[in-house]
Amino acid sequence: MQSADEDEFSFRAFSLDGTVFSHKGRNYFIWAEKVGVGKQISNLYIAEMEKPWKLKTVQVMLSTPDYDWERRGFW
């Protein structure tokens, strides 16, 4: 997947588990991406799609591991 032109953060690190869904005629991509330095965490992001291979908008974080039970072993 290609990030949006003005997006300097998406797909710069290890990303996986992408999925696509449509809502009100628009297509969206949701994926997990590891971010950070040292002990990296895996956040979930969403962005609107422009083409099947390119995002239209900058990523928006949906969730990050906030609780202790989410941070055991792999974040």
Each residue's pLDDT tens digit, 54-68: 999 999 999 988 888
Give per-residue pLDDT as tens, 15-34.
888 999 999 999 999 999 98
Domain membership flag for residue 45? yes
Helix (H) or strand (E) segment spanning residue 43 = strand 41-51
Domain membership flag for residue 54? yes
The whole-model pTM stands at 0.85
Residue 58 burial (CB count, 10 A): 16
Domain membership flag for residue 42? yes
- Of 56, 4, 67, 59, residue with least CA distance to 35: 59
The residue segments making up the domain with residue 53 are: 1-63
Domain membership flag for residue 73? no
Domain count, the chain: 1
Domain membership flag for residue 27? yes
Residue 72, class by beta-carbon neighbours within 10 Å (0-12 exposed, 13-18 middle, 19+ buried)?
exposed
Domain membership flag for residue 44? yes
Two tokens at 67? 């609780």
